[in-house]
Amino acid sequence: MGKATLMSVNLKGSSFLTLKDFNAEEIKHILWVSADLKHRIKHRGENVPLLQGKSIAMIFEKRSTRTRMSTETGFSLLGGHPCFLTPQDIHLGINESTTDTARVLSGLADIVLARVYRHSSLELLDKDASIPIINGLSDLYHPIQILADLLTLQEHYGSLKGLTLAWIGDGNNVLHSFMMSLAKLGVNLKVATPKGYEPDANITQEAQRLSKQFGTKLQFLTDPVEAARDSNVLVTDTWVSMGQEEEKKKRMKDFLGYQITMQAGSVAAPDWTFLHCLPRKAEEVDDEVFYSPRSLVFTEAENRKWTIMGLMVCILTDYRPQIPKLKF
């Protein structure tokens, strides 16, 4: 974890495996850098080659649209060279041990982003690499998605503190990352999952500790309507993640009633919005909500690019943003 003070944050050289390892000031700093890059590059048309001469190794055990495109285009836009590695190119721990792969990549690249099945693969990479490792998704966490979600909400609402987010769906890796970050930023969390699909028990225990520490509300429910009630943000995700295809029939039955509709929105706060990390299926959220002005999903998807750029700049450089600090 980088060292934070009231005046400055230094994340240079840090790995980014889970938001559990980062405090509020560090998360805010990453979002500030991300907003700054978005402003300078998108809105002012500036060339900002902060990563010129640097390279990133992108290991993808799982397919991806947003993670690959945001990282590859973002790193290039900053002047760096991305190298995409599929299971046909590299098998962690199969053709070569993960330890050896970590050491080899440490001599060939400046940073690694890995999208893997097992979180333990990331921890082993991080243990044996001498360069930073970014979690591009694992079975346990998806922290880079949450950075995009937080920036999207900050842009829309102007600040985050005091918002209530309702998670309606599976107790998965995206939810776990929300649970490790929202309380630090003063955001309340209501979680509705069917019985048997609750989040990880150890992560739940840590989230309860964080909620108590930061004075936020954390509720675990089985009624999606109660979760939506008075919430500012309604969030869901896929009910069937990659690797769970054989469970699809059972999951479709167990998640009946969990589709987000305007009826769910009718009990939410007047300013309610909707998020989904994508790809989306119609059973998770209907078209009326998904394509409505309430839905921030396409801004959220774009912000995957600006936030991964911000994160990589924080990890690889001493850059300080030019825009004023964001309000949180």
Instruction: Enumerate the active-site residues.
Output: 277
Q: Cα Rg for the chain, rounded, in angstroms? A: 19
Q: Which helix (H) or strand (E) holds 301?
A: helix 297-316
Only one residue has tokens 């999208």, namely 115
Residues with Cβ within 8 Å of 145's Cβ and at least 6 positions away in sequence, in order, are 137, 174, 177, 277, 304
Angle at 97 between CA 96 and CA 102, to 5 degrees: 100
The rounded distance, in Å, linking the Cα atoms of 264 and 283 is: 14
Q: How far apart are CA 56 and CA 114, in angstroms?
A: 10
Q: Count how many residues are written for the chain.
A: 328
Q: How far is CA 187 from the centre of its chain?
A: 16
- The answer for 293, left when phi > 0, alpha when psi is -120 to 50, beta otherwise, is alpha
Cα–Cα dist 237/276, whole Å: 6
